[in-house]
Amino acid sequence: MPELPDLEAIKAVLNSKIAGVKIVRVEMMQPLVIRQPDLKEFEAVCTGNRFIDVNRRGKFLLFNLESKHILAMHFMLTGRLQYCGTRENRKPKTCFIFHLEDGKQLRYFDSKLMGKIYLVEKGRFYTIPRWNEMGPDALDDDMTLDVFRSRIKPYSGQIKNVLLNDTFLTGIGNAYADEILFEAGIYPFWPGTSLSHEEVGALYNAMRSVLIKAVDTVSNRMRDDITTEVRDFLKVHRRGGKPCPACGGPISQVQANRRITSFCRNCQKA
């Protein structure tokens, strides 16, 4: 699943490529991922429209269109974008293609067709399910340590699940939750309410540090290939059995709640 650092890098690439560019045709192959509006309206609004810029909120990429519509994309587990020329091979399960006036194409592909694409009028984000329930973005300037402390207080579930909860804050997925907890030295299955004042501070600092560094790393490594998933620099996520970069002990990897959790039992003691 693309997470905050991935989407920040993709956003930057797309802003350099498609800002000001017109969509001349929409080619639809797998309409299942278009959640709203209906297909006829989606194609009618997009055709002839022009991209203004690309923004991000949490795990959504937000494409501002000249018509004052917003194209909101949530990629879920397997959704991805491909920006390329017409001769580039299409990825399996390409769902739709925006044919652009400069001869390039912006393609959305999704092997499990789980993505959620919404086209809404500006100011009508509330029509997107659960949009108004989302917490602030993990890297919002307003997300200070004091705000973080205040927001985390009501959450009594396992701390990893708290980080993944979009009503607490948004943008963090499974991979970076593991990395943040490792950086903070916090056991992922502790209840959120059990964290000390110092541990909450360490968690906040780790969140900021890990995400900011990851945005820089992913951006530098991705360059213009927005289909690339850059994860090989992560310290613990999906590195079960390999040596911990801090202590040298084996990294543990368990499956719980249908997701893999990777951590170091020495550095993140229960």
For 85-122, how does the pLDDT look when each residue is reduced to its tens digit (9 = 90+)? 999 999 999 999 999 999 999 999 999 999 999 999 99
Half-sphere exposure of 65 (CA within 13 A, CB side): 21
Catalytic residue among 50, 93, 104, 259: 259
Instruction: Answer yes or no: 259 catalytic.
Output: yes
Q: How far apart are CA 184 and CA 161, in angstroms?
A: 15
Angle between helices 4-17 and 197-222 (to 10 degrees): 40
pLDDT of residue 258: 83
Instruction: Answer yes or no: 22 catalytic.
Output: no
Q: Which CATH architecture has domain 145-263?
A: Orthogonal Bundle (1.10)
Instruction: Answer yes or no: 3 catalytic.
Output: yes
Which residues neighbour 175 within 8 Å (Cβ) at sequence distance 6 or greater? Answer: 1, 3, 231, 234, 237, 238
Domain boundaries for CATH 1.10.8.50 within the chain? 145-263
At 13 the three-state DSSP class reads: helix
pLDDT of residue 180: 99
Fold of 4-133: N-terminal domain of MutM-like DNA repair proteins (3.20.190)
Q: Which residues of the chain have pLDDT under 50?
A: none
Instruction: Answer yes or no: 149 catalytic.
Output: no
Catalytic residue among 11, 59, 116, 239: 59
